[in-house]
Amino acid sequence: MAETTEYDLIVIGGGPAGYAGAIRAGQLGKKVACIELERAGGTCLNWGCIPTKALLKSAELYQKMKKAEIYGLSAKEVSFDFAKVMERSRTVAGQMAKGIEFLFKKNKVDYFVGRGQVSAPGMVSVTAGEHKGKFFKTKNILIATGCKMRRIPDLECDGVRVMTSREALAAKTLPKSIVIVGAGAIGVEFAYFYNALGSKVTLVEVLPQILPVEDEEVARTLSRSFEKQGIAMHVGTKCENFRLGQNSVKVDLVAGDQKTEVESEVLLSAIGVVANLEGLLAPGVKLELDRNYLKVGDDYQSSVKGIYGAGDIIGPPWLAHVATYEAINAVQGMFGHGKAKRVKNFPGCTYCQPQVASTGLTEKAAKEKKLNYKIGKFPFTASGKAVASAESEGFVKVLSDAKTGELLGAHIIGAEATELIAEYGLAIEAELTVADIHHTIHAHPTLSEAVMEAAAATTGEAIHV
């Protein structure tokens, strides 16, 4: 007979939304369980955000060691062990997963490995995995099953010739050449990683620019940098007629009337994600969907009372930090600890070199909204810290309301962009003006001075070198 336990909340999915929601409920003194199919941390921690950043750090350090002479240093015969690079990435992911499991214990969250299924409102069962057969009653359900990588139609992902990012993170050998289909954050990061370690990289994007969601000026700057690094890029280009051979993959790149055949050892699909709904709902459970994502209201509640959703499963933006925010707010709202808040402002980050980060409106979006705005821009070539660090590529760009000076958007390409963007996120959330940022003293010399100086440049007051 199946085991039955009753909870205040059961979370299905243990990624950034799932574990954050479960832990927050535990902190509120609720009896809570989290069911995760594979391992605490979900895709982000185990097969996404965290392990990829470990790989990118190895690639970045390798490139810096090769250019040690810039700093007056000598590093001869610099090399790498690809297997060890990958092993470190897996070790980092494992360490962080253990950290989540510790937090579950600390906050009295029951953790079950298996496939969670909503059997009925207020009822959850484990249908596969280590804890198969368990059955739970619960007052609330939070669905946080996230997304999985979208596959290229009619192309088998064998993990050898054709991979998604997941298979790439388990690879044992470095390919001599690779075609990456899709130039969003995932595609761009892997393009940098493979190229930095010596693979011949071809990056293909069907839209007019790489990093399609980013500011056009930033995308152009990154394209020029990638070209200098040796990455071949094709934008406004479709991939057709995939042909798998024993030792290579061939694909036709089609741009307008032009068709070019490209052959590589490996093809990586980075064309986006799809909602992870597999086995989630019993046949009798019907939840309203929107473009195949779980549809929720402002309180994160689905079309069925007591069943909530947060994170990638409820649609874009597909970002770990947004997922965490949503889950915490959903939990606090469902248990009466303030009103649930939907995400309005959030940073987007791409961890290639140079890094890219942004928040708020792009210049194109501001034009489409017919806003009266001003732009402030500051190049890292004018930053003493950036020049001293030999990391002067890129710039900081801010958009502000022409009348009030309130910050509308910010875009950074350059060293530590993903760290610097947080200040602008706070400024937008607090409805600060560019004058507020300009008049806040920033330490000298720091990269963060560029944040201040871009704000000052809005009124022609930037002065730092």
Give catalytic residues, as residue numbers. Answer: 444
Count CB atoms within 10 A of the CB of residue 180: 30
DSSP string, 358-401: EEE--HHHHHHTT--EEEEEEEGGG-HHHHHTT----EEEEEEE
Q: Residue holding tokens 């059997």?
A: 119
Residue environment code for 89-114, b if the CB has 16+ CB neighbours within 10 A, otherwise e: beebbbebbeebbebbeebebbbbbb
Q: Which residues pair with 238 in a beta bridge?
A: 254
Q: Which of 395, 449, 332, 352 is nearest to 26 (CA)?
A: 332
Residue environment code for 166-175, b if the CB has 16+ CB neighbours within 10 A, otherwise e: bbbbebeebb
DSSP string, 229-276: HT-EEEES-EEEEEEE-SS-EEEEEEETTEEEEEEESEEEE-S-EEE-
Omega into 317 within 30° of 0, i.e. cis?
Answer: yes
Instruction: Say which residues have a Cβ less than 8 Å from residue 143's Cβ, sequence separation at least 6.
Output: 12, 13, 118, 280, 294, 302, 307, 308, 309, 310, 313
Q: Which residues pair with 374 in a beta bridge?
A: 400
Q: How far apart are CA 384 and CA 82, in angstroms?
A: 35
Contact 108, 275 (CB under 8 A): no
Residue environment code for 290-299, b if the CB has 16+ CB neighbours within 10 A, otherwise e: eeebbebeee
Q: How far apart are CA 286 and CA 295, in angstroms?
A: 12
What's 313's DSSP letter? G
Q: Residue holding tokens 């730092």?
A: 464
